[in-house]
Amino acid sequence: MRRIMVAGNWKMHGTRASVAELTKGLRHLVLPSGVDVAVFPPFLYVNQVIDGLDGTSIAVGAQNSAAEASQGALTGEIAPSQLADAGCTFVLIGHSERRQIMGEQDELLNRKFAAAQACGLTPVLCVGETLVQRDAGKTLEVVGRQLSSIIEALGVGAFVNAVIAYEPVWAIGTGLTASPQQAQEVHAAIRAQLAAENAEVAQGVRLLYGGSVKAANAAELFGMPDIDGGLIGGASLNADEFGAICRAAGN
């Protein structure tokens, strides 16, 4: 049985004061026992959040990491070994904002994914199509290519210890959510693509949906057979709203 996961991607939000307040709010949440919960603060606040959530069941991840596993001469980057040393357990790989705005390409993301796993982190591979690609009927092709890049480089076994997040770019931060049926269609295709390589890996991997998830629409999305939780942006910046999403996942 796959455990449901709810993850909060804080993106480039927060100050020391607001992070302290959000962390305090998270500490006070009563979370359902069947749900794995994680938050992804900006690098600068990772230590603060790890300290602030000490003793809770909430895991902490980073939003990005270097393509090199070990520390070294790479100005401005953060090695996955350093994230592991800080106490992170997850890292986002290939969020669409990094693919689109920072120009990260599949080949680089393959290396980041492998480096993260080499350090014991669980990568959360983000995939998704733009509105232009969806309107052109290319959704499954685009997502399939993003997934096959990792499979070809690292083998399907790389997904034994990984999470996949389907985040349609047109649904991120727009208030436009994919319908549960639209999301399920893509999640089923992702699982089928993995199953064609290895059925056991496909059955075990958690597929999260991301894109304007809030407490009001979470239960319906999480009720779909191939949706194993969510990657939450804006709504994860409010502890009560995030807690409500976690509870929706627990039902």
Kindly state the DSSP code that residue 33 receives in the 8-state scheme: T
Kindly state the DSSP code that residue 205 receives in the 8-state scheme: S
Cα distances (angstroms) measured from residue 181 to each of 76, 126, 193, 212, 220: 41, 19, 18, 15, 10
Q: Name the minimum Å distance from CB 239 to ligand 13P.
A: 15
Query: Counting contacts by CB under 6 A, is residue 232 touching ligand 13P?
Result: yes
- Write the binding mask 182 to 221 for ligand 13P: x where contact by CB under 6 A, - elsewhere: ----------------------------xxxx--------
Q: Name the minimum Å distance from CB 70 to ligand 13P.
A: 27
Among 84, 231, 244, 248, binds ligand 13P (CB under 6 A): 231
Dmax (CA) for the chain in angstroms is 48
Query: Counting contacts by CB under 6 A, is residue 139 touching ligand 13P?
Result: no
- Exposed e or buried b per residue across 108-144, where buried means at least 16 C-beta atoms within 10 angstroms of its C-beta: bbbbbbbbbbebebbbbbbbbbbeebbeeeebbebbb
Query: Counting contacts by CB under 6 A, is residue 243 touching ligand 13P?
Result: no
Q: Name the minimum Å distance from CB 169 to ligand 13P.
A: 9
Query: Counting contacts by CB under 6 A, is residue 9 touching ligand 13P?
Result: yes
Query: Counting contacts by CB under 6 A, is residue 223 touching ligand 13P?
Result: no
- Residue (of 190, 187, 183) closest to 213 by Cα position: 183
Name the amino acid, one letter, at 218.
A
Active site residues: 95, 167
Of the pair 95, 247, the CB lying nearest ligand 13P is at: 95
Going through the chain in order, the beta strands assigned E by DSSP cover 4-9, 35-40, 59-62, 90-93, 122-127, 163-166, 206-210, 229-232
Query: Counting contacts by CB under 6 A, is residue 84 touching ligand 13P?
Result: no
Choose one: 48-56, 182-190, 215-223, 227-235; the region binding ligand 13P (CB under 6 A).
227-235
CA distance 59 to 92: 13
Query: Counting contacts by CB under 6 A, is residue 234 touching ligand 13P?
Result: yes
The CB-nearest residue to ligand 13P is: 233
- Write the binding mask 89 to 108 for ligand 13P: x where contact by CB under 6 A, - elsewhere: ------x-------------
Question: Taking a C-beta distance cutoff of 8 angstroms, is the pair 6, 239 a contact?
Answer: no
The residue count for binding ligand 13P (CB under 6 A) is 14
- Write the binding mask 144 to 173 for ligand 13P: x where contact by CB under 6 A, - elsewhere: -----------------------x----xx
* Side-chain half-sphere CA neighbours of 62 within 13 A: 24
Q: Could you tell me the two tokens for 142?
A: 């685009």
Residues that bind ligand 13P (CB under 6 A): 9, 95, 167, 172-173, 210-213, 231-235
